[in-house]
C-alpha cells in the first residue's frame, strides 16, 4: 500500500514537472533558428522540421481513416539540402510561387541569407516574391510550417525579418551524452529598428529552453553539405611555412576589395626588389 502511494506521488510530481518546469519551445508558422557557425543550427532545424512533418502526417492519416477525407492532400517535407528521409527538393519555381506547395506541408530552408540577404532589397521583383512567399506561407499551405536558419537575424532579407517577431538562438550544444543531443536555446525578440535593448538581470542559464534530440538526426543530412562547392578545388601542397618572423609588418593584403588609397602593390614590388638585391650580393 505504501509503495502504491509513493508511486502515485511520484507520478503527480512527474506530471507537474513536465507541465510547469520544463521550458518548451514555442514554434510559429515561420520559425527562425540562429547561432554561430557550426553551433548545430542545421541539426536542430532538421530535427524540428521532421518532427513537425511527422505530426502533420499523423493527423492527415487520422482524418483520412476516421473522417473519410480521402481526397485531402498528403503533407510533404520540402528541403533545399539533401536528406536521407523522404523529402521534396525545393526549386526556384516554388520560391517564386509559380508552383504550389502541398497543404499542411513543412519546408526547411538552410542558410536563408544565401537565398536572399539584407543587401538584396534593390531587386523589386525579388522583394515582392519573397515577401509574398514568407507572409502568405501559412495561408497558401493551409497551416503548414516553414523552418529557416542562418547566423543572425540581420543577415536575412527584410521580407523575412518583417515576419519574424522572435527567433531561437542556440546558446550551447551538448554532444558528449550518449545517443542524445541537448540544445540550450534562448528565445530572442527581434526589433526591426534595433531599438530594443535586452537587459538580463538573471542567470542566463536559468532562462534557457532545453531541446533533446536523438543523435540519429545526424544521419538525416550531411553537416558539410555545402563543401561540394570547393571539394574539387586544388590544394597547394607546396606551401611556404614560416616559423621565424623577423619582420612583423604586413606586406600583402588579401582582399576582394579595391582600395584606392592603399598602394600595397608598389610596396610589395619594393620588398621583392630588396630581396633580389640581397640575394645578388650573396
Q: Which three cell numbers stand for residue 32?
A: 527562425
CA angle centred on 110, ends 109 and 112, rounded to 5°: 75
- Higher pLDDT pick, 262 / 129: 129
Task: Tell whether the model's pLDDT for residue 196 goes beyond 60.
Answer: no
Q: Any idea where the domains of the chain sit in the sequence?
A: 25-229
Each residue of 124-153: pLDDT tens digit? 888 888 889 999 999 999 999 999 999 888
| Strand spans (E) along the chain | 30-34, 77-79, 88-89, 106-109, 145-150, 166-174, 180-189, 209-214
**What are the CA-CA distances from residue 271 to residues 141, 155, 204, 253 (Å)?**
63, 40, 52, 14
Percentage with pLDDT > 90 across the chain: 34
Residue 227: phi and psi, rounded to 5, are -70, -10
Q: Which pTM was predicted?
A: 0.78
pLDDT at 33 over 80: yes
Contact 157, 148 (CB under 8 A): no
Q: Report how far residue 225's alpha carbon sits from residue 135's, in angstroms, rounded to the nearest whole number.
A: 28
Higher pLDDT, 14 or 237: 237
The reported pLDDT for the residue numbered 160 is 85
Q: Which of 95-104, 164-173, 251-260: highest mean pLDDT?
A: 95-104
Specify the DSSP class assigned to residue 155.
G
- Which pLDDT value is given to residue 144? 93
Which homologous superfamily is 25-229 in?
A: P-loop containing nucleotide triphosphate hydrolases (3.40.50.300)
Say what the pLDDT of residue 17 is.
Answer: 64
pLDDT of residue 164: 82
Listed in sequence order, the residues at least 6 apart from 214 whose beta carbon sits closer than 8 Å to its beta carbon are 179, 180, 181
- 271 falls in which pLDDT band (50, 70, 90)? low
Residue 27: pLDDT band by 50, 70, 90 thresholds? confident
pLDDT digits 0-9 by tens, 44-80: 999 999 999 999 999 999 988 887 777 889 999 999 9
The pLDDT of 193-209, averaged and rounded, is 61
Average pLDDT, the chain: 83
Amino acid at each position: 500500500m505504501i509503495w502504491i502511494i509513493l508511486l502515485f506521488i511520484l507520478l503527480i510530481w512527474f506530471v507537474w514537472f513536465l507541465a510547469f518546469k520544463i521550458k518548451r519551445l514555442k514554434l510559429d508558422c515561420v520559425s527562425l533558428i540562429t547561432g554561430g557557425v557550426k553551433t548545430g543550427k542545421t541539426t536542430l532545424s532538421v530535427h524540428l522540421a521532421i518532427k513537425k512533418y511527422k505530426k502533420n502526417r499523423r493527423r492527415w492519416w487520422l482524418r483520412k481513416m476516421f473522417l473519410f477525407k480521402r481526397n485531402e492532400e498528403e503533407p510533404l517535407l520540402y528541403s533545399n539540402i539533401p536528406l536521407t528521409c523522404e523529402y521534396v527538393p525545393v526549386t526556384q519555381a516554388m520560391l517564386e510561387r509559380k508552383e504550389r506547395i502541398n497543404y499542411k506541408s513543412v519546408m526547411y530552408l538552410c542558410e536563408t541569407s544565401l537565398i536572399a540577404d539584407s543587401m538584396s532589397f534593390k531587386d523589386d521583383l525579388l522583394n515582392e516574391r519573397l515577401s509574398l512567399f514568407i507572409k502568405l506561407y501559412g495561408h497558401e499551405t493551409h497551416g503548414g510550417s516553414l523552418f529557416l536558419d542562418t547566423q543572425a537575424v540581420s543577415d536575412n532579407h527584410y521580407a523575412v525579418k518583417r515576419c519574424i517577431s522572435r527567433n531561437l538562438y542556440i546558446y550551447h550544444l551538448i554532444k558528449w551524452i550518449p545517443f542524445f543531443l541537448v540544445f540550450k536555446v534562448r528565445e530572442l525578440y527581434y526589433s526591426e529598428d534595433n531599438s530594443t535593448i535586452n537587459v538580463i538581470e538573471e542567470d542566463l542559464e536559468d532562462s534557457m529552453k532545453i531541446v533533446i534530440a536523438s543523435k540519429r538526426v545526424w544521419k538525416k543530412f550531411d553537416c558539410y553539405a555545402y563543401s561540394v562547392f570547393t571539394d574539387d578545388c586544388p590544394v597547394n601542397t607546396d606551401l611556404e611555412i614560416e616559423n621565424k618572423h623577423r619582420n612583423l609588418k604586413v606586406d600583402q593584403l588579401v582582399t576582394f576589395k579595391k582600395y584606392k588609397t592603399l598602394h600595397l602593390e608598389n610596396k610589395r614590388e619594393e620588398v621583392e626588389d630588396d630581396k633580389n638585391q640581397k640575394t645578388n650580393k650573396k
